[in-house]
Amino acid sequence: MADHSHPPTAKKVLVAVGGQSIDTETVRLACRMTDPAGGRLYGVHIIEVIRALPLGAVLDDVVERGEKILDEVEQLASESGLPVETELVQARDTGPALVDEAVEWGADLIVMGLPYKRRFGEFNLGKTVPYVLKNATCRVMLFREHREHSS
Alpha helices in the chain (DSSP H): 23-33, 60-79, 94-105, 128-135
Contact in structure between 41 and 15 (CB atoms under 8 Å): yes
pLDDT: which is higher, 3 or 19: 19
Looking only at the bridges linking them, the beta strands covering 122-124 and 117-119 are: antiparallel
Alpha carbon distance 68, 63 (integer Å): 9
pLDDT over threshold 60, residue 19? yes
Tell me if residue 74 falls in helix, strand or coil: helix
Average pLDDT, the chain: 91
Give 26-68 pLDDT, tens digit per residue: 999 999 999 999 999 999 999 998 888 887 776 888 999 999 9
- pTM comes to 0.90
* 69: confidence class by pLDDT, cuts 50, 70, 90: very high
**CATH class, 12-144 region:** alpha beta
